[in-house]
Copies of this chain bind each other. A is one copy, B any other.
């Protein structure tokens, strides 16, 4: 089925998910929407996120998408269940695949989760992991400065190292052995987290796991695209198209073209 996959996030972070989808499923086309006028989602309320996500899903449906990936942890936490009941194409978030992988990976039974304030206060990773195995201990930590630091380009920088070290100090002292990078920006800090957490801690990248889960879903539902070379990747944002394209090109080199502007409040 040669229709595109819809992917959305509050901004550029979801491109780490889009990148994994393009890399694992090279025949699939994608339509990406980044809500750059209303970024960040991590500090907004449940009701607001549900409203924003609903508008974006309506927009993506005008692009004839065959499935939708909510490439944003906060929106996955708050809006996935409601959206599932409202549309008749498959829709998935980024929480489930990461939670399953973390639950499978831990040997000591203690999992750490880092994310935005919204994701952490929703408790969604803890709930999802406990649905898989009620005996696992989940230790969460909100890291509100990491998105601004990444967006300022301080990916390899001693300030970012220090801020991450402070955020994870409790997780380290409680000897977790599996850490979920529960925000789509954080895979860009994968190496730093790895160095600070040390070899005994496995990092779980929900972007990678979500793309794997999507691939299984498309195969199961017989929705995979044909290998006919007709692949496209379109990008839309609600504001600041040029800045988006610049940042996006550094995350997905050679894939991102000029982004279109959408007046998302009209949907």
Contacts and interface: CB of A to CB of B under 8 A. Distances in A.
A144 B243 CA distance: 14
Contacts of A262: none
Contacts of A43: 39, 240, 243
15 contacts: A36-B44, A37-B38, A37-B44, A39-B43, A43-B243, A44-B239, A45-B239, A45-B240, A48-B239, A144-B148, A144-B151, A145-B149, A159-B159, A159-B162, A159-B163
Given A36-B44, A43-B240, 7 more contacts: A37-B38, A37-B44, A43-B243, A44-B239, A48-B239, A144-B152, A159-B163
A88 B217 CA distance: 59
* Among A37, A144, A149, residue most surrounded by chain B Cβ atoms (within 10 Å): A37
A83 to B, nearest CB: 19
Interface of A: 36-39, 43-45, 48, 144-145, 148-149, 151-152, 159, 162-163, 239-240, 243, 265
A240 B37 contact: no
B144 A44 contact: no
Contacts of A240: 43-45
Copy number of this protein in the oligomer? 2
Nearest to A38: B38
A215 B240 CA distance: 37
A64 to B, nearest CB: 27
A151 B42 CA distance: 13
A178 to B, nearest CB: 26
A9 to B, nearest CB: 15
Contacts of A36: 44
A168 to B, nearest CB: 15
Given A37-B48, A45-B239, A240-B45, A152 B159 contact: no
A45 B48 CA distance: 21
A122 to B, nearest CB: 14
A43 to B, nearest CB: 7
Nearest to A44: B239
Nearest to A240: B45
A265 B162 CA distance: 39
Contact of A145 (B48, B148, B162): B148
Nearest to A11: B43
Contacts of A162: 159
Contacts of A239: 44-45, 48
A144 B154 CA distance: 12
Contacts of A148: 144-145, 148
A160 to B, nearest CB: 10
